[in-house]
Amino acid sequence: MASVVWADVEKASIRIAPFAHRTPVLRSTSVDCAARAKVFFKCENLQRTGSFKFRGACNAVSALPEAEKSRGVVTHSSGNHAQALALAAQLHGVRAHVVMPENAPDVKRRATEDFGATVIGCPPTHRGRVDTAARVERETEAVFVSAHDDPRVIAGQGTAACELIDEVGPVDLVLVPIGGGGLLSGTLVAAKHLASGIRVIGCEPAGADDAYRSLRSGERITDFVPHTIADGLRTPLGENTFVLIREMVDDIVLVDEQEIVDAMRLVWERMKIVIEPSSAVAVAPLLNGSINAVGKRVGVILSGGNVDLSSFFSGPPLR
């Protein structure tokens, strides 16, 4: 296991600066009123490839020695890391192989291929993803880049919190969605260094509560079947992220499926921006009362905005 420290996040900020967007921070009077707090949304849904994942993928590819870049990269991902690694590899002239579950949203599969990656299908289970990626790694000799557990990926994800705090100043609380734990881990490293007394809380679907249960049992849970609309959060914690989160996180809260949908609808309707269900998981605790944010300055990482719109446009074409 490898540790990630503040210096790694600093280096990541420099590496990705020529490639990644400095995403905006938005406010919503409706959310402020509902939470009775000042809420600052870090809009990673407006990041390149539509999610925060580009930060970590770009840092990981950029940090590879030239000899490893020549071998290409490989990963497994339900979609957002797939797109991110594909674009990061393209920008650095590196070949990319992406193992993707057969039930991944079509919009994410198409986007990954559009960025030049070779997509390999696999069974929609964690074991299926791992086994298929290992086979591709052996066959191609490409370098494996974990979607969440690679220290370079974790450091890259921490740069979003750096930008948030740099723009709005100290906050009392940061809410972060948690799947594999890369975004939460990177946020913990960055936020805890930049703002003393800050609380960082992971937000997780109740139908994919492996992180919640892992922290309470003290053992990392990897064998489970997630049931949630938040497809980006169906991945279990990694070895590195589990250690970082166990040591640093202040709490993990759970939200149910209807709360995720309600939060996503509110952001779409009131803020006029598109977020995916995984992003809404970090908004829901402000609306359901599971977090006491009254009078506080709260940062929320909106992790992505990649939504499959096919259900909206499945009818006959407009004339």
Nearest one of 203, 213, 301 to 253, comparing CA atoms: 203
Average pLDDT of the chain, as a whole number: 93
Positive/negative CA dihedral, 277, 278, 279, 285:
positive
Give one DSSP letter per residue of 172-227, joined into a string.
SEEEEE-SSSHHHHHHHHHHHHHSTT-EEEEEEEGGG-HHHHHHHHTS--------
Strand 25-26 versus strand 199-205 pairing type? unpaired
Whether the CB-CB separation of 264 and 279 falls below 8 Å is answered with yes
Partners of residue 26 on adjacent β-strands: 41
Which tokens hold the place of 249?
A: 């996180």
Whether the CB-CB separation of 108 and 80 falls below 8 Å is answered with yes
- How much is the pLDDT for 1? 62
Helix, strand, coil shares of the chain, percent, nearest 5, are 50, 15, 35
Residues of the chain with pLDDT under 50: 317-319
- How much is the pLDDT for 234? 85
- How much is the pLDDT for 318? 45
- How much is the pLDDT for 103? 83
Could you give the residue numbers annotated as active site?
53, 78
Cβ-based neighbour number of residue 292 at 10 Å: 12
- How much is the pLDDT for 50? 93
Give one DSSP letter per residue of 216-253, joined into a string.
HHTS---------S-GGG-SPPPHHHHHHHHHH--EEE
- The edge-to-edge listing of strands for the beta sheet with 143-144 is 118-122, 96-101, 73-76, 143-144
Residue type, 275: I
Under CATH, which number does the domain 54-148 receive? 3.40.50.1100
- How much is the pLDDT for 129? 87
Say how far residue 199 (Cα) sits from the centre of its chain. Answer: 19
Long-range contact set of residues 131-139: C-beta below 8 Å, sequence gap at least 24: 132/76, 132/99, 133/74, 133/75, 133/76, 133/99, 136/74, 136/97, 136/99, 137/74
Q: Tell me the backbone φ, ψ of residue 177, rounded to 5 degrees.
A: -70, 150
Same fold, 6-51+152-306 and 54-148: yes
Give one DSSP letter per residue of 135-153, joined into a string.
HHHHHH-PEE--SS-SHHH
- How much is the pLDDT for 98? 97
- How much is the pLDDT for 311? 55
* Domain extents in the chain: 6-51+152-306, 54-148
How far lies 296's CA from each of 60, 87, 174, in Å?
35, 37, 10
- How much is the pLDDT for 269? 96
**E strand or H helix that includes residue 43:** strand 38-43
The CATH T-level fold of domain 6-51+152-306 is Rossmann fold (3.40.50)
